[in-house]
Amino acid sequence: MNSHNSSSAISVRNLWKVFGDNPEKIVNSSDADLSRSELREKTGNTAAVKNVSFDVAPGEVFVVMGLSGSGKSTLVRCLTRLIEPTAGSVLFNGEDVLKADPARLRELRRTAFSMVFQHFGLLPHRKVIDNIAYSLEINGVKKIERHKRAQEVIELVGLQGYSEAYPEQLSGGMQQRVGLARALAVDPQVMFLDEPFSALDPLIRRDMQTEVIRLHKEVGKTMIFITHDLSEAMKLGDRIAIMRDGAVVQMGTAEDLIGKPADTYVADFMRDISKSHVLTLRYLARPARPGEATDGPELDSSTIIRDASQVISQQMKPVRVSENGKAIGIVSSEDILKLISGDAN
Amino acid sequence: MISAIKEIKTRYLILIILGVWAVLAIIFKGVATLELATYQNTFVTQTANDAAASIRGNRTQSAAFIYFFNPIRGFISGFVELIRMLIAIPAPNSIIPVLGWLGVIGVVTFFVFLTSNFRTTILAVSLLFGCGLLGMWTDSMDTIAMTLAAVILSLSIGIPLGIWAGLSDRVLKVLTPFLDLAQILPTLVYLAPLALFFLIGTASATIATMVYSIPLSIRITSHAIRSLNNSPIEASISMGATGKQTLTKVQLPMGKQMIVLGINQTVMAALSFVVIAALIGSPGLGGPIINALTIRNVGDGFVAGLAVVFIAIMLDRSTSAAAKTKQTFVPPSKKEIQQRRMSLAGMGIFAIVCIWLSRNVLWAAIWPKQLDVSEIVASNTNTVTDWTTDNLRFITVSFKDFISNYVLNSIQALLAGSPWFITITMIALIAYLLGGRKVALLAIGLMLLIVACGLWYETMVTLTQTLVATMLTMILGVILGVWIGRSQKAYKILRPFLDAGQTLPAFVYLVPILGLFGPSRFTAIVTGIVYSIPVVVKIVGEGIKGVSTTMIEAATAAGSNAWQLITKVQLPAAKRSLLLATNQGLIFVLAVVVIGGFVGSGGLGYLVIVGGSKPELQGKGLVAGFSILLLGVMIDRIAHASARKYGN
């Protein structure tokens, strides 16, 4: 994983963030393998991000998932250098963000990146419209122009009628819509979302997740999404990286993680997930056993198992699973029952 | 558990030390106490005296004066005169200030209304009117003008530095020792040195006031910047804002409210200092108070003191209302703004009419004699004072005598009455037990320095009074603090008194206390208690209030009664607050006990004051001030170290 992938929107290689004195001494040393408390005991340092590498394709939603203290929030801040990384490289369209001088970094932040925060980070003394227009304002865009653009994104995120309100007059969900609108206002190429919905009520959270999926379909931004909520990760992420103690434990699609957990830590995580709600028929497809009927109805491999279960359980014969028009195997109602009963345990 | 055992052990060890000390003090009574008569000088005080004399002689020749001290003095006194001419002293080519009394009332009406509301405006104007009724109009205006001048200068330095310290850890780190020092430095200490370099007069008084109030404004401003919610700031940076953009568009607007609160604190600090700065030539109400204290005329002092109280309440209410009006970031509606504009315009017209009258009609320019009730107030106060001193003599004198004879004298016998090396050894041992080896060594160093200065005996007298006053403060303060910590109602009842005690200059209540107890050490002690008790009560109260509800519920569920709850749960859990309160109490008491030098408490404070009035003792006064500083640092460090050791 040492060469960068040139077709990626964001390409991260060997990224490290160590807090404390002489942080560069910890990078790539054997001390980095110590547990958090052992390292602090020994050198007084904390390694928040350890040798992380990944690529995010243009238009992809890449989710970083981990429990609190796993380093995920530090990682996302390192990508735009809100926290200065200790070592490594972050390539954006082939340019190393970590080597950008302050002026270039500001320019990238103003035009190419934008961020949504867990606690919204709205300016309490400004109206919604001026909050959304803030990034354009610091970029020197004239008032009429920036208000026009702000109005556009207000409509995009469903905040019509609230442009003159102040943040404290809005509910948490509405405030985060302002946060989303603000991030979209500059028409960025990459959006970083740091646990954007963790502070919201479960019902609102679900709405907002749907909203993000809708926005992603409409504007097609590359997104790096941080969360501690596995079902949120599964729902939104094209690919998911699981972090623990500053390092990426496993990276892949939801099916990869459930189907082939890299270690017991990931497996433990996946236990509470309803597999049938996340996995597609691709996961269950298997070659027909001798004597099994192979002339059942056909379903696409990308169908979520839960959605397919109704159809399949009504069939006397196993269904055929096809991908891009090619048959890849069959799934019987027993297979589905087995999976669902596994969920229940 | 280990620390609890250690604590009990420490307690016994300290008792043993005190016992040994008492025995030694009886055996060596009066030996090597280094007592010095007032007119006697030591080598160090004589040297300081010569140095002071040479500074006085060089004022017109030395480059440091011509190019540094004198221009600063010129600038500041010029600025002060300008402001005084507005309201207090005759303007050029005139016999009255720019604004006569009615004009001042008009302007105050307008500005207080601008920053707060109608009720506060009425209050402010009535209080100002009260100053006139007390026959103190001109002195009051001088006090206000001096305060205003000092506040403007302090804020123009304090706010930018505070913002800088709020943004940069390095700047804060550089400033912190100065801020800490300013906080433990008793006010009396830097008056004399400043007067030496900037002469007695408004410039010295203003600079001294600034030294006192700038640290406060730096502290609060930097705190205002630092305590902001970080996520809007992070968001601003993530969007590519420059540091300046984030400061002006995010941090300052969000921190505005607390910065305004800092202005309020700065104003109150400046006012209380301007009164004391009368000692080095600040015009205004401090003068009459000092005179009254010197000739023990409680009535006259009371009149001037009351005027100070009026001004204090007026300034506090009008500036704190400005800080409190904005509870929310949402601005008022268009209609409200419209209404507000209308009433402001009305106030503006009223102010202009008042100003015009005050510049053209005699009764509106100079406070009319008919409206002066000062003599009635003064004579009545004297009657009341005489009556109380005569009739409450039984209580006041017996209480005073009890404390003086049994508590003060016995502690003084230990500290000042035993040989100096024994006292140093014992204090160092106690410091070691309380705070560890490092602080014990520091204490020894500081005490040896005090001995070298030659004012050991006086320092120990002052230390005695400080310790006794702090002990009494803590007893009273813990009782009241527990009370307000447990009852919201009690908090409501006590709050006005606590606020008043915290904002009033100590000089002001020295007057009635002097009336009650006469000139004595005890008067100084009571003043120290009055001055320090608000802060102690507040800290203890907050500590008690901060004890977790779960802990209290658990203890109540286990069947504890109120007394058990207080002694076994709330006080132990609020230990940190108790330690902090003791530390603050000590420093506050020390600052005021030395002012007791005015009313016969002796000690270092007396030497500072005598040094100010007698040139041949000026050096001794300066060294006394320095000794107060050394004593303050020693007390503060020991208290700090023990708080660190036992605070967890």
Buried b (16+ CB within 10 A) or exposed e, B162-181: bbbbbbeeebbeebeeebee
DSSP reduced 3-state for A228: coil
Distance from CA of A82 to the nearest CA of B (A): 7
- Note the pLDDT tens digit of each residue in B620-639: 888 998 999 999 999 989 98
In this structure, are B244 and B163 located in the same domain?
yes
B57 assigned to some structural domain: no
- Confidence grade of residue B3 (pLDDT, cut at 50, 70, 90): low
In this structure, are B433 and B352 located in the same domain?
no
Query: Mean pLDDT across the stretch B379-400?
Result: 82
* Chain A interface includes B328 (CB < 8 A): yes
B56 assigned to some structural domain: no
In this structure, are B71 and B92 located in the same domain?
yes
B577 assigned to some structural domain: yes
> Quick check: B193 and B618 in contact, CB under 8 A?
no
Q: How far apart are CA B117 and CA B317, in angstroms?
A: 10
> Quick check: B293 and B598 in contact, CB under 8 A?
yes
SS (H, E, C) B567-631: HHHHHHHCHHHHHHHHHHHHHHHHHHHCHHHHHCCCHHHHHHHHHHHCHHHHHHHHHHHHHHHHH
Choice among A233-242, B121-130, B378-387 with the minimum mean pLDDT: B378-387
B17 assigned to some structural domain: yes
- Give chain A positions within 8 Å (CB) of B249: 123, 134, 137-138
* Chain A interface includes B61 (CB < 8 A): no
Indicate the number of domains in chain B: 2
Q: What are the C-alpha distances in Å from A131 to residues A177, B182, B415, B446, B615? A: 11, 41, 65, 56, 65
DSSP state of A20: S
> Quick check: B293 and B511 in contact, CB under 8 A?
yes
* Chain B interface includes A82 (CB < 8 A): yes
* Chain A interface includes B253 (CB < 8 A): yes
In this structure, are B31 and B76 located in the same domain?
no
In the chain, the amino acid numbered B22 is A
Handedness of CA B456, B460, B466, B471 (dihedral sign): positive
Q: How far apart are CA A232 and CA B243, in angstroms?
A: 35
In this structure, are B44 and B95 located in the same domain?
no
- Averaged confidence pLDDT in chain A: 87
B418 assigned to some structural domain: yes
What CATH number did the domain enclosing B196 receive?
A: 1.10.3720.10
Whether A289 has a pLDDT exceeding 90, the answer reads: no
* Chain A interface includes B370 (CB < 8 A): no
Q: How far apart are CA A156 and CA A158, in angstroms?
A: 6
In this structure, are B111 and B251 located in the same domain?
yes
In the chain, the amino acid numbered B328 is T
> Which residue has tokens 């003159």?
A164
Q: Which long-range contacts (CB under 8 A, 24 or more apart) does A165-168 make?
A: A165/A127, A165/A128, A166/A124, A166/A125, A166/A126, A166/A127, A166/A128, A166/B328, A166/B329, A166/B330, A167/A120, A167/A122, A167/A123, A167/A124, A167/A126, A167/A128, A167/A131, A167/B329, A168/A124, A168/B328, A168/B329, A168/B330
- Averaged confidence pLDDT in chain B: 87
B297 assigned to some structural domain: yes
Distance from CA of B130 to the nearest CA of A (A): 40
- Give chain A positions within 8 Å (CB) of B253: 123, 125
pLDDT score recorded for residue B598: 80
Whether B330 has a pLDDT exceeding 90, the answer reads: no
In this structure, are B566 and B432 located in the same domain?
yes
Quick check: A138 and B240 CB within 8 A?
yes
Distance from CA of A233 to the nearest CA of B (A): 23
Distance from CA of B405 to the nearest CA of A (A): 56
The residue out of B346, B381, B416 marking a domain boundary is B381
B55 assigned to some structural domain: no
pLDDT score recorded for residue B648: 61
pLDDT score recorded for residue A3: 65
Handedness of CA A64, A67, A71, A74 (dihedral sign): positive
- Give chain A positions within 8 Å (CB) of B329: 124-125, 166-168
Print the domain residue range for B355.
62-325+334-381
pLDDT score recorded for residue B1: 47
How many beta-carbon contacts under 8 Å exist across A and B? 77
pLDDT score recorded for residue B193: 86
- Compare all CA atoms of chain A with the CA of B241 and give the residue at the minimum distance: A138
Nearest to A117 among B234, B249, B330 (CB): B234
Whether B4 has a pLDDT exceeding 70, the answer reads: no
In this structure, are B355 and B400 located in the same domain?
no
B461 assigned to some structural domain: yes
In this structure, are B543 and B499 located in the same domain?
yes
In this structure, are B621 and B561 located in the same domain?
yes
Distance from CA of B233 to the nearest CA of A (A): 7
Quick check: B330 and A166 CB within 8 A?
yes
> Quick check: B458 and B36 in contact, CB under 8 A?
yes
Distance from CA of A40 to the nearest CA of B (A): 22
In this structure, are B102 and B126 located in the same domain?
yes
Nearest to B118 by CA among B336, B258, B313, B321: B321
Task: Give me the helices (H) in B247-402, please.
Answer: 252-276, 286-294, 298-324, 334-360, 362-365, 374-391, 393-402
Q: How far apart are CA A56 and CA A79, in angstroms?
A: 12
Mutate to test the interface with B, among A123, A182, A195 (most CBs of B within 10 A): A123
Q: How far apart are CA B470 and CA A58, in angstroms?
A: 70
Give the global pTM.
Answer: 0.83
Nearest to A134 among B233, B239, B254 (CB): B239
DSSP reduced 3-state for A244: strand
In this structure, are B153 and B284 located in the same domain?
yes
Quick check: A138 and B249 CB within 8 A?
yes
Q: How far apart are CA B103 and CA B107, in angstroms?
A: 6
Q: Which range in B2-16, B251-265, B496-510 is most confidently predicted, on average pLDDT? A: B251-265
- B65: tokens are 């004066």
Strand partners, A61: A223
